Amino acid sequence: MSKTAQAGATAACKKDEPVLPEIRCKRCNRLLFKGSVIGVEVKCPKCRCIQCFGCTDGKAAQKIQ
C-alpha cells in the first residue's frame, strides 16, 4: 500500500470517530482534556489554576481561582 493510500485510510477512520468536546483552562486557555465527565477537579500544568468541571456543590466551585 502506498503512503497516500495509507494516509487516506487513516483520515477516513478519524472521520468516523465521534468528536469529543475540548475542555480548556479558564485562565490560560490550555487544552486540559477532551471528553465529558460527571465530576473532576483538574490543576492546569501551565498556570497551576485548579478548576472543577461537572461539580455541583458550592465548595468545589469556589476552588476555581
3-state SS, residue 64: coil
Burial of 33 (0-12, 13-18, 19+ CB in 10 A): middle
Percentages of the chain per state (helix, strand, coil), in multiples of 5? 30, 25, 50
46-63 pLDDT, tens digit each:
999 999 988 776 554 444
| Residues of the chain where predicted confidence (pLDDT) is lower than 50 | 60-65
Can you give the pLDDT at residue 59?
A: 53
The pTM for the full model equals: 0.59
